[in-house]
Amino acid sequence: MSNDATAPLIRVEGLAKRFTLHQHDAARINVFEGLDFEVRPGECVVLAGPSGVGKSTLMRCLYGNYLVDCGHVLVRHDGREVDLVSATPQQILGVRRRSLGYVSQFLRVIPRVPTLQLVMEPLLENGVAADEAECRARDMLGALNLPEEHWGLPPATFSGGEQQRVNIARSFVRRYPILLLDEPTASLDAGNREIVVRLIREALAEGAAMVGIFHDEDVRNAVATRTFEVAQYRAAA
Amino acid sequence: MNREPENVPEPAPLLQVDGLTRMFGHVTGCRDVSFELHPGEILGVVGESGSGKTTLLRCLSGKLTPTAGAAVFDSRRHGPVNVFELSEQDRRRLQREEWGFVHQNPRDGLRMRVSGGANVAEPLMNLGDRHYGRMRQATVDWLSRVELDIGRVDDKPRNFSGGMQQRIQIARNLIHAPRLVFMDEPTGGLDVSVQARLLDLLRELVRDLDLSAIIVTHDMGVARLMADRLLVMKDGCVVETGLTDQVLDDAHHAYTQLLVSSVLQI
Ligand SMILES: Nc1ncnc2c1ncn2[C@@H]1O[C@H](COP(=O)(O)OP(=O)(O)OP(=O)(O)O)[C@@H](O)[C@H]1O
Ligand SMILES: [Mg+2]
């Protein structure tokens, strides 16, 4: 087991994913198979390919949100590799809490909790004291230009772009060693996109490993260190 | 950069269920159910009505004797014990001291003839507390924790709305600091808006108190919101299990796919 600072933080081996739709005569959708890739500290690997090729599916497999049919998803966690394919639910939750962040396109949170509290949560869960967590959450929301009047409100009524910034704040308020970004800038204006680009670059400079899906070409060009074509592993139908 | 503490290794399960079966004559209540529940974990049990959820919950909580199987609970008093091998007296004490049970219908969980405050205080009394001032204070604390008007502490449950009755029931089941709470459709009979607030409250409480809970629900939205992990039941058997978001977003069993696709948006 190497603790080399450049060792991959994610290593995917022989990954296969298919869906069986039981309500539609058990129709099979074979998304990919034999998929290999790895991501090292400081890398931002951008998943590329046409709509439906399996970019989001791959990302959800990396998060333990989708079950895989074959292969391994090895994630560096507390100095060792955990295979999310064989990990227990408790282990996966631990990996997500401390090592693996995920920014989805949509904010899915508990309805009544105010924004500031939501952004503090990832810190509190990791043992950061409440007053320090609040300071960091305020800084983060400020950096993302979310108007302060919003901080005490639950985000349910926020605009798409405001919700997305809450989502981003939750994932960048602490440094996850690994971050998965599924179109984190889709509903942001140019100014806010630039801020997010800066956050991503800072985290990369500090050694985070990222996997991203960005439909916006400017954002993609600004953060990608490498592109990964999912289509090369398209499964035989 | 701040250093954030590393977590401790995985603790032993709080509850370990093995091969739990309950038959009603030839009819299956639940069959061969096995799972582990860890400290601080919230397990959701989902499935349509008649799938065996309530039977399972009633067996686990010692209200119903299973036909076969074991449920080993790591109790404060005895250490790990098979709930079904305890004497009636020990089992009742375990229920009083270490468990809570929130019924769908507050009528089943409250004493309707005594005041809301007395309902909340009673578990402490049952545990032998005789210090009136301290119990009164704990009751007031709990009433405010579940967001009830303290001025109404002496009202009878029937004078409260369904949602408020449910809050009293929740306070009554948490005041004695249980380690495990069973909940059977805890928001089942309520309006959607009342339900949402109650779920938020429950979730907060469960997290703050580091409780373990088993929540039976047929509502996938409730399951998504509350549970870390899900058991999906059909015809008395567990057909699928896993992390909540995994089971709901990438359901594998035909029955789970049907359940998930029947909801508008979760
Ligand atoms: N939970 C699911 N159940 C069944 N099929 C799914 C599921 N998720 C994705 N798929 C299918 O897998 C294939 C890949 O979808 P995916 O969302 O990964 O594509 P994508 O590359 O992210 O596309 P886009 O660029 O449009 O977001 C599609 O055929 C999709 O219908
Ligand atoms: Mg996608």
Domain containing B200 — which CATH number? 3.40.50.300
Q: Write down the domain spans for chain A.
A: 41-68+86-233
Contact by Cβ (8 Å): B122, B100: no
Pairing outcome for strands A70-77 and A10-21: antiparallel
Tell me if B252 and A110 make a contact (CB, 8 A cut-off): no
In this predicted structure, what is the pLDDT of residue B1? 36
Q: Is the pLDDT of residue B25 over 80?
A: yes
Render pLDDT for A165-215 as a digit per residue (tens, 0 to 9): 999 999 999 999 999 999 999 889 999 999 999 999 999 999 999 999 998
**Whether A23 and B245 lie within 8 Å, measured CB to CB:** no
Continuous segment of H or E residues that includes residue A145: none
Residue B48 forms part of a structural domain: yes
**One-letter-per-residue 3-state SS of B98-144:** HEEEECCCHHHHCCCCCCHHHHHHHHHHHCCCCCHHHHHHHHHHHHH
% helix / strand / coil in chain A, to the nearest 5?
A: 40, 25, 35
A28 CB less than 6 Å from ligand 1? no
CA distance B90 to B68: 20
| Whether the predicted pLDDT of B86 surpasses 90 | yes
Domain with B130 in it: 15-261
Per-chain mean pLDDT for chain A: 93
Best A67, A121, A124, A202 residue to mutate vs chain B (most B CBs within 10 Å)? A67
Region class of B121: left (phi > 0), else alpha (psi between -120 and 50), else beta: alpha
Whether the pLDDT of residue A1 is over 60: the answer is: no
In this predicted model, what pLDDT tens digit does every residue of B39-71 receive, in sequence order? 999 999 999 888 999 999 999 999 999 999 999
Q: Which CATH class is domain A41-68+86-233?
A: alpha beta
In the prediction, which pLDDT does A237 show?
A: 63
> Does some domain include residue B1?
no
Tell me if B208 is assigned to some domain. yes
- Measured CA angle at A61 (ends A58, A65), to 5 deg: 130
Exposed/middle/buried for residue B151 (C-beta within 10 Å: 0-12, 13-18, 19+) = exposed
Higher pLDDT, B228 or B197: B228
Q: Is the dihedral of CA B147, B151, B153, B156 positive or negative?
A: negative
* Amino acid at site B229: R
User: Domain total for chain B?
Assistant: 1
Question: Least CA distance to B250: which residue of chain A?
Answer: A66
The DSSP line for A29-80 is EEEEEEEEEEE-TT-EEEEE-STTSSHHHHHHHHTTSS--SEEEEEEEETTE
For the beta sheet containing A209-213, the strands, ordered from the edge strand earlier in sequence to the opposite edge, are: A100-103, A178-182, A209-213, A44-48, A226-229
Q: What is the predicted ipTM? A: 0.91
Strand segments, DSSP code E, in A129-200 are: 178-182
Whether residue B266 is contained in a domain is answered as: no
Check residue A162 and give its pLDDT: 93
| Ligand that lies nearest to the alpha carbon of residue B252, given by its number in the listed order | 1
Give a yes or no: residue B7 inside a domain. no
**Residues belonging to chain A with any Cβ–Cβ distance to chain B shorter than 8 Å:** 19-23, 60, 64-67, 78, 88-94, 97-98, 110-113, 126-128, 132, 174-175, 206
Smallest CA–CA separation between B89 and chain A, in Å? 34
| Position B222 in a domain | yes
The CB of A54 under 6 Å from ligand 1? The reply is yes
Ligand nearest to the CA of A53: 1
